[in-house]
Structure formats: C-alpha cells, structure tokens
Chains A and B, each alone.
Chain A
Amino acid sequence: MIRVIGVGSPWGDDQAGWLAAEALRGLFEEDRVEVKTLDRPGPALCEHWQRNDSVVLLDAVRAHGEIGRIHCVEGAAIANLGGASLSSHGFGVAEAVALAAALEVMPRRLCLLGLEVSGSERGADMSAEAERCVPQLTAAARAQVTTWLND
C-alpha cells in the first residue's frame, strides 16, 4: 500500500501538508493509494503505516533557507531533522521517525516532502507565499507516488 500522509495543524503555514494531501484525493485508485491528513500526531504517526508500506509524508518545515523550496528526505535520515518540522509540541515528524526506527517499525519506503515556510503563528491565515507553493508540494508528492506505482 502506498500512503500519503499530510501532517500539520490548523495554524498558518503549518496547513501546507494538509492542503497538498487533500489535493491528491481522487487522483489514484483508493485500494492502492491511501491519502490522509493528521493533526500533529506525535509518536502515534507510526500507527498509520505498516512495515510493507511506501509512505510519503507531507509537512511544512523550517530550514532557514528559501521559502517555497521543497526538501526531499528519505528513510531514517528524516530523524536527523529534529526541530525542523512545525507539526507538534516537541514531538514532530523527525522524532516520530526516530522512534519508529528505534522500534524497527519503519515502512519499506519512506519519503518526507517538506515545504519550506517562514513560520506558523497560532490563529494566523496561511501566508500567500506558502499558499502559492502548495501546488508544487502536491506535484512532488504525485510524482513520487506515480514512480512507486510504476515500480
């Protein structure tokens, strides 16, 4: 099974992962590609995949680089991104992947596509800059899923 998981929160640019995932709904056969969105799942992230799965994680990231840049990080290397993900109180995607790796519950293939944003203020709308870049995140996820489907 291929799973696309949009991770985020209702605040500001942290919605990017959700919006990109939602845009993929209906584009693939549901019995081959599952699309879901999660609100700051923390350590429970690994409950959303099986070890035989291929998983694309979509999330907003902060990397002090170019806003709108899409970062692609694969497998256990995602664990090295601690603090970059905006998606939780101290237990973000990087920590969840580190935990999954330590517990040997990593999926067969795992890819984080992170859209670089400037910040995430509670109560704020998404910035126009980030909103403009969401289609690129969707396109990158679609390309990754298509590649895996054709493997």
Chain B
Amino acid sequence: MSERHIEVPVLTRVEGEGALYVRIADRRVAELRLNIFEPPRFFEKFLEGRSWKEIPDMVARICGICPVAYQMSAVHAIEAAFGAVITPEIRQLRRLYYCGEWMESHSLHIHLLAAPDFLGFPDAMALAQKHPDIVRRGMRLQALGNSIVSLLGGRSVHPVGARVGGFYRAPAAAAAAELLERLRAALPDAEELVRWTAQLELPAVIRHAPFISLRHAEEYPMNEGRIVSCDGLSIGADEFETYIEERQVPHSTALHATLDGQPYWVGPLARLNNNLDHLPAASARLLRATGMVWPSRNPYHSVVARALEIHIALTEAIAILEHYRVPDQAYVEIEPRAGIGMACTEAPRGILWQRYEFDDAGIVKKSRIVPPTSQNQAQIEADLRASVEENMDLDDAALRAHLEAGIRNYDPCISCSTHFLNLTVERA
C-alpha cells in the first residue's frame, strides 16, 4: 500500500487558527481533518445572566470582521422574544448597516485574502507591489464599507451604535449626505470589480451540496427572510433547530452542522444562487454581462458572488441614503418579558442564527449562536476530499497550496466558529 501524508500546520490568510491534515492511501483519501484548534470562547455561556441591553455590544466582540451580523441576529432574536416591532425607518437603517459590513468584509476577502491565490502571489503585499491599482480599489471599497458601519455604529470595529429596538442615535443628515456622495463616486469601482472577478482564471469544479440562505419575498436578503435551500426547504428561524443538527467532532473546536445528516453550503454563492430574481436591476445587468451561467455549483465562483454583493450593497446603500431623513425616533422602547426569541440574518459568510431565552426581567437564561463557518465546515471537508482526489497527481507542495486556496475560497472565519487551521497530508 502506498501512503502520502499532507499537512498544512498553520493556515494563512484566514481569520483565526486552524490546520489541515490529509492521509492518502492507494490514491484515495483515507482521512481528512480540518482541524480547528483556536480555543473555544464560550460566548454563549457567558451571555447567560446578562441583561438584554448588554447583548448587542457583547456579541459584536465575537468577530472583528462581521460584528454587524452578530448584532443584527441578536437584536432581531431579542425583539422576537419581547414582541417588539420596529419602524420602517429603523429597518432601513439596519439594512444600510448590513450593506456596510458586506462591503467591508467582501472587499477584504477578495483583494487581500483570495486574489493572491488566483493571481499566483504568496500574499497581498506581493500582489500590491505588482498590481497596486487592484489592491487600492479593494482598500477603497473596504474603507467605504467601514464608513457606513461607523456612521451607524460609532466605529467600524466592534461598533457600539446598535441597540435592541434600533440605534442609540440616527445619523445626522449632513453626515449621511456626505457619505452618499462618496458611495455614488464608488460605483465605477464596484462595477469594474465584478467584471474583473468574472475574468479570473478559476478552477472549474462542481460540488453538489445544497445551498442554504435566507430568501425574502421582495428583496435580496440581509436582515429578514425565510431559511431556504435550493432543494425546496423553506423554514422560519424558529424551525432551525428542527432541521439543522450540530455535532462535535474530535478534531475541531467548531461544531459541524448538517441538514438531514448531510453537509450544506452557506455564504455569498448560496445567497446569490437562491436569490437571482431579487437583484437590483443594475446588479442583474452587470451579472448578465459577465456571460457566466447562474446558478453556479462551482465554489470558486464565490469570488464573483462576493463582488456582485459589493455592488448590490453599494446600490442599496445609495438608494437608502437618497431617501434618508433623520427619523423621529432612532429606536423603539423595549419592554422585556419572559420568552424565547430566534432570528437568522445573512452575515457576509452566510446565515447566522441565534436563539435567546429570557426571564421576566430580560436576563438571558440560555443562548445559542450558530455562525456560518461552523455550518460550512462539513461542506469544506467534503469539498477538500473531492479536491484531493481530483488533484492526486500534484506533488505535495502543489497539492498543499491548492487545498489551502480551496479553504480560503470559503472565507472561513475561524475566530467566529470556535466554539478553526495548520495542513498535514499523508500519502501511502
């Protein structure tokens, strides 16, 4: 029997700490582990005993890249538990807030994490030396996303402006108007980014796991919608636990999630595939002009989906700010009560589900947070198994690089999911 062992001891250009180990025996994958060794942080446990008022600021600390997602799923879940109803103006501000995070997170991933893989550079610094204009464009779009988050959150990292019921204060008209002009000026960057990602030479692979995302009746989903799959699943957030099972695996501090015992796939590609009919008209035209066939089952098309979602977010943010008036109330008053609330929103990396149980005074009795990376983890492993078998003739170094790029393509946020990466491949 011939055996190969391939190891990536520390994954780079991903958020958080993990590794990959692959053992190949007789040209088949005998063992593959996406080892997530970032220490668990026990967020769900230490939310217990805290007041509802503290939750948005606490969960914003889970991730430096997607704090808005954690805040939004939390406030919607808490409002569901308390029976609170927000105003249409607050709803629009929350959508604007999410647009900022998608722009910031996707721009970072495309330009600084993924692009070096697709263009043959070891890292973003080397890419920037050869193609500074590409990286500058990404930095501009990222900064713009950060500005949106700052407008509503007070700051771009670990923002503090969101609260249950709305925001502590609404943006001033002048600040909103100034940002609107900057957003309008960035549209050519966003359009060019979509065209640029669509012409990248991407691996041609097909993967068959179900796509799961939110779907809203009228709009591209961010804060609201039913949880749907491409195979017909359509459930409310309060049915998530009935259909999605999380289980511990020995090699990971992040739980693996499955649907009917099988891996599934969340994130921008799933979101786009499931919501092609809800694109803003300009984004739809841009996507058609790429000549690509959608929906797509090629995970590497995620980079195009991310670019398009930057355009969607920018378009939406402009539309929201063009109609912005400082609202009479930045938040609705909240009356806590005993109850259970669940909510799911679309983090940049995919659906993020949260559940809170409160006592009469609004103190958290139990909480549960299911981030997108833990939902994608089983699918990433399934994808990597297929990738190894498709690329068996590569030498160890080339195979290692290919697999690492494949993992990065999912934009895993290990820091979020631990409750993740180094690569070892053994060949026999």
Chain A positions within 8 Å of B, measured between CB atoms, are: 38-44, 46-47, 79, 89-91, 95, 98-99, 102-104, 122
Partner of A99, one of B124, B146, B156, B157: B124
Contact B415 A43 (CB under 8 A): no
Contact with A along B11-24 (1 / 0, CB 8 A): 01111110000000
Residues of A within 8 A of B13 (CB): 90
Tell whether, in the assembled complex, residue B12 and residue A102 are in contact, meaning their CB atoms are under 8 Å apart.
no
Determine whether the beta carbon of B132 is less than 8 Å from that of A43.
Answer: no
Please tell me if B142 contacts chain A, counting CB pairs below 8 Å. Answer: yes
User: Are A44 and B124 interface neighbours, CB within 8 A?
Assistant: no
Chain A: minimal CB distance from B207 (Å): 27
Whether A104 contacts B112 in the complex (CB less than 8 A), given A39-B157, A99-B125, comes out as no
Q: Are B146 and A47 in contact (CB under 8 A)?
A: yes
Chain B nearest CB, measured from A1 CB (Å): 18
Does B132 lie within 8 Å of A104, measured CB to CB? yes
Which of A44, A91, A95 has a CB less than 8 Å from the CB of B146? Answer: A44
Assess A102 versus B64: contact at CB under 8 Å? Given A89-B16, A90-B12: no
**Within the complex, which residue of A44, A79, A89 is in contact with B125, where a contact is CB–CB below 8 Å?**
A79
Cβ of A102 and Cβ of B135 under 8 Å apart?
Answer: yes
CB-based contact A43/B17 at 8 Å: no
Q: Shortest CB–CB separation between residue A20 and chain B, in angstroms?
A: 20
Given contacts A43-B112, A91-B112, A103-B139, A98 and B64 within 8 Å (CB-CB): no
Number of interface residues of B (CB under 8 A): 27
- Residues of B that sit less than 8 Å from A by CB: 12-17, 39, 41, 64, 108, 112, 123-125, 128-129, 132, 135-136, 139, 142-143, 146, 156-158, 415
Chain B residue nearest to A96 in the complex (CB)? B125
- What are 30 inter-chain pairs, A to B, with CB distance below 8 A? A39-B64, A39-B157, A40-B64, A42-B108, A43-B108, A43-B112, A43-B139, A43-B142, A44-B143, A44-B156, A47-B143, A79-B125, A89-B14, A89-B15, A89-B16, A89-B17, A89-B415, A91-B112, A98-B125, A99-B112, A99-B125, A99-B128, A99-B135, A102-B129, A103-B128, A103-B132, A103-B136, A103-B139, A104-B132, A122-B41
A contact residues around B12 at 8 Å (CB): 90
For residue A103, which residues in chain B have a CB less than 8 angstroms away from its CB?
A: 128, 132, 135-136, 139
The listed residue with most A CB atoms (<10 A of its CB), out of B12, B13, B17, B124, is B124
Min Cβ gap A84→B in Å is 15
Complex CA gap A122/B16 in Å reads 13
For residue A104, which residues in chain B have a CB less than 8 angstroms away from its CB?
Answer: 132
Distance in angstroms from B14 CB to nearest chain A CB is: 8
Chain A residue contacts of B125, Cβ below 8 A: 79, 95, 98-99, 102
A103 to B137, CA, bound (A): 11
CA distance A43 to B12 in the complex (A): 15
B124 touches A43 (CB 8 A): yes
Q: Across the two chains, which residue of chain A brings its CB closest to B132?
A: A103
Chain A residues with CB below 8 A from B112, complex form: 43, 91, 99
Identify the 7 closest CB pairs spanning chains A and B, nearest first. A102-B128, A98-B125, A102-B129, A103-B132, A99-B125, A90-B12, A103-B128
